[in-house]
Structure 1
Amino acid sequence: MTLNKETIQNLRQEYLSATLSEKSVADDPISQFAKWFAEALDADLYEPNVMTLATATHDGKPSARVLLLKGFDNNGFTFYTNYLSRKGKEIAKNPSAAMVFYWAELERQVRIEGHLEKVSKEESERYFHSRPKASQLGAIASQQSQIIPNREVLENALHDLEGQYQDKEVPKPSHWGGYILKPQIVEFWQGGAARLHDRIMYKRTDKKSWKVVRLAP
């Protein structure tokens, strides 16, 4: 295939699988997300917990990366990472963030905006020790986002740690743990015919209540 401007411009997919209305959604976005997430699981999608996390510096310079959601409840959406990574440093200066889930096979997208807080040390400890031991060691071996001379630096560090903790419990490093995104806005997008997509947005009005509105596509 010849790749040119016209090739990209002519990429089109018609969305016809479902519709979404204000009357059909749950009263709160967490319940609606749970419904859609369960349907993504039932559809046997590849890693339906994959999401893009967008953060920004204190002066508004954005960055984004793909992560894995590790839990959600009425308080928000949880993931784990290195606190000293680029995103960790940005979060420390500017806790505003956004998440995006895109389930192409279901023609669905969920956008979440809110503020990030660290989860408790106890919660981070529980999750850390639930991970495979290789993943635990990898969290120690990698100085995430730092410049390194080559891959061998990582492999050698991991090899040394495997020997050190061969018969020992791996301690959670202090620079590693969880964040929870506490949502203020959650938008559910369902692809529609003729690009008239359905967009239903929940906007928090107080600690317990949400306003539901429809957005133009």
Structure 2
Amino acid sequence: MQQDSGRLDRRKIRIAARGAQERRRHTRVPLQLHGRFWSETLGEHACRLLDISPGGARVASRSTPPANARIILMISSIGRIEGTIVRVEGEEFSVRFNATSRKRDKLADTITWRFNKDRLGLEEDRAAVRKPGRGRARILLNDGVVIQANVLDVSVTGAAFECLERPRLGELLRVGEMTGCVARILDNGFAVVFDPPEAAKKSSEAA
């Protein structure tokens, strides 16, 4: 019976891991970036990215390709992505990316890093520009102390930092435009969970 229970637990873990990976692949984030696209019907035109996930994107352009057209997107700091038009609405169109699972995973890392870079005020790590999630951050603690830390990992809802200083668990802080609190103490640093957008806005107004 214990062996059956162990197998069930391992199966649940695998299912949960697959579910988390799928959610990561399809999480769409707002990201305003300029770029260009090419299609067989229209040739090359300027465009602006509105939001993106590892599975697709919504794009604005004065020239919109027809539904089902194959296009190639070139987006600043994201790179070259091939896809197919799945929806056209006015001067906006939606693209479904044609990419392997490995490419989608790499794209997820790039999107997450680019989404967080500006709002957290992260400094690019020039020695590791091909490793999204690496960089330097300026962290302002609630008592006014400033910490300079290396970014270990970053997501839409939180981040992990490497540094010698250890703030208290639950301590409030600010990273760039984002506010949050220390959620976990690590061997080499700490992890932060960010406030939801409305909470961050109210905190900024109160300050």
Q: TM-score, normalised by structure 1?
A: 0.30
- State the structure with bigger RCO (CA 8 A, min sep 6), 1 or 2: 1
The structure with more strand, counted as a fraction of residues: 2
